[in-house]
Amino acid sequence: MRIFARQHKRWLIGLLALILVGAAIYLRRARSGDAQSGSTSRRSATRPQQIPVVTAVTKTGDMKVYLNGLGSVVPYNTITVKSRVDGQLVSVLFKEGQTVSSGELLAEIDPRPFQVQLAQAEGQMARDQALLVNAKLDLERYRVLFSQDSVPKQQLDTQESLVRQYEGVVRADQGQVDNAKLQLTYCHITAPISGRLGLRLVDVGNMVHASDTNGLVVITQVQPIAVVFTLPEDSLPPLLAKMKTGAKLPVEALDREQKNRLATGSLETIDNQIDPSTGTVKVKAVFSNADSELFPNQFVNARLLVDTLHDATLVPNAAIQHSPQSAFVYVVKADQTVEVRNVEVKLTEGNETAIAKGINPGEIVVTDGVDKLQPGTKVIARASNGTQAGS
């Protein structure tokens, strides 16, 4: 037992010695690694850090000056087709949604009552015309007799008055005949304008009246078609000045997201007053709408071209930064460091900004990665297309 206890004690002492040696080796290696890491950090601290950025080259070009407003498409004319006489609707000759021309037959009303009225009026006129012819013959006889001193002057005057009365009656009869013919014509309902038909409002067989408010169908003139939109009242002076020159100002109709151009037209007129509640004025533009791109009451974004800036200095909108004092850009210099340049913005349109002063065409500006930049920061510049800037 004593021999076994001594061997066990030696084994424990050996294991403890191995653990102490291993710990000493680990500590030595850890200190060596820290020293190497500190040396690497000191070396990296001595080198300036380069910030990757996206750049673009300032260019010279033309910029169009637009006035933008919200509007809706308005039919050039809207007509509710109504009957002008009372009667039964016997036929409808159009299809809903059909495009019709002015004068095209749309519907018919039972013409028989009006044919009877015409026959009565013509019969009455024929009777009165016969009476007029007889009165004129008698007048000629009285004139001969009066020249022979066979009848008194009063009888001749009475006959002349009777002839004039019959002439008046015949003219009144002619009016009745013309009115009956007109009522008969109104039985054939035609399109008063060219345009697109809406949904049918009355079915065949119904009685229709001239006093009906709904009518038979609605026609909207869509070629040409108008767009009415609003502009701020501050936009009026340059717009009026341009209109006084007689220039034809183009107008574009864009979709709700302002991504697609639906149609192109021209300015027609400006409303005669400003809405004091909104500080805006209504503007009307006309579009040929040859391909039916615009539809009545459709919402559109209108864009009115009022001027064009020629040879302007243009930079991407992303390059423009703002401070409480002014707008500025980061310009990449030849040594790949950046400097802050204050600029004066003249106009922004689309994805580009026209600069009045502060930067020249051909200079490189930073468009992405500006959040890590300071004056003098060294950068790795890449153009927006992914190539090395300047390559």
Pairwise CA distance, residues 278 & 29, whole Å:
78
Cα distances (angstroms) measured from residue 88 to each of 65, 115, 188: 59, 14, 12
Position 358 scores a pLDDT of 87
DSSP state of 6: H
**Which tokens belong to 359?**
């930067």
**Residues 271, 240: contact at Cβ < 8 Å?**
no
pLDDT score at 114: 94
Please report the pLDDT score of residue 373 as a whole number. Answer: 84
Q: What is the pLDDT of residue 151?
A: 85
According to the model, what pLDDT value does residue 42 have? 47
Backbone φ and ψ of 351, nearest 5°: -100, 10
User: Do 343 and 353 form a contact (C-beta atoms < 8 A)?
Assistant: no
How far apart, in whole angstroms, are the C-alpha atoms of residue 195 and residue 227? 17
CA neighbours closer than 13 Å in the CB half-sphere of residue 44: 8
3-state secondary structure of 79: strand
Identify the pLDDT of residue 226: 95
In whole angstroms, what is the distance from residue 249 CA to residue 307 CA? Answer: 9
Give the Å distances, CA to CA, from 284 to 226, 251, 264, 273: 7, 10, 13, 13
Residue 203 CB-density burial (10 A; 0-12 exposed, 13-18 middle, 19+ buried) = exposed
pLDDT score of 65: 87
Residue 14 pLDDT: 64
The per-residue pLDDT for 41 is 46
Per residue in 29-61, pLDDT tens?
656 555 445 444 444 444 557 889 899 899 999
pLDDT at position 15: 65
How far apart are alpha carbons 347 and 64 in whole angstroms?
Answer: 10
pTM: 0.67
CA distance 203 to 104: 19
CB 235 within 8 A of CB 244: no
Q: For the chain, give the longest Cα–Cα distance.
A: 194
* pLDDT at res. 46: 47
The rounded distance, in Å, linking the Cα atoms of 349 and 217 is 45
Q: Mean pLDDT for each consecutive 10-residue tract of the chain (391 residues)? A: 53 67 64 50 54 90 90 93 95 94 95 95 96 94 89 91 95 96 95 94 94 93 94 90 88 90 93 92 94 92 90 90 88 89 87 88 89 86 61 45
> Alpha-carbon distance 271 to 275, whole Å?
10
Nearest to 226, CA basis, from 281, 127, 300, 172:
300
In sequence order, the β-bridge partners of residue 377 are none
**Whole-number pLDDT of residue 7:** 57
* Structural contact between residues 221 and 248, judged by C-beta atoms closer than 8 angstroms: no
Q: What is the pLDDT of residues 211-224, one digit of tens each?
A: 998 999 999 999 99
Model pLDDT, residue 326: 86
- HSE, CB side, 13 Å, CA atoms: give it for residue 360: 2
Distance CA 150, CA 142 (A): 9
Contact predicate 226/302, CB 8 Å: no
Q: Are the C-beta atoms of residues 252 and 294 closer than 8 Å to each other? A: no
Rounded to whole angstroms, what are the CA distances from 35 to 25, 29, 45, 152, 208? 16, 10, 15, 155, 104
Please write the tens of the pLDDT for every residue from 207-253. Answer: 999 999 899 999 999 999 999 999 999 989 889 988 888 888 999 99
Write b or e for each residue in 278-296: b if 16 or more Cβ atoms lie within 10 A of its Cβ, otherwise e.
eebbbbbbbbebeeebbeb
Task: Answer for the pair 90, 202: CB distance below 8 angstroms, yes or no.
Answer: no
| Total Cβ atoms within 10 A of residue 257 | 7
Cross-strand bridge partners of residue 73: 227
Q: How far apart are CA 383 and CA 228, in angstroms?
A: 42
- Rounded to whole angstroms, the Cα distance separating 113 from 119 reads 10
pLDDT value at residue 1: 46
- Do the beta carbons of residue 63 and residue 314 sit within 8 Å? yes
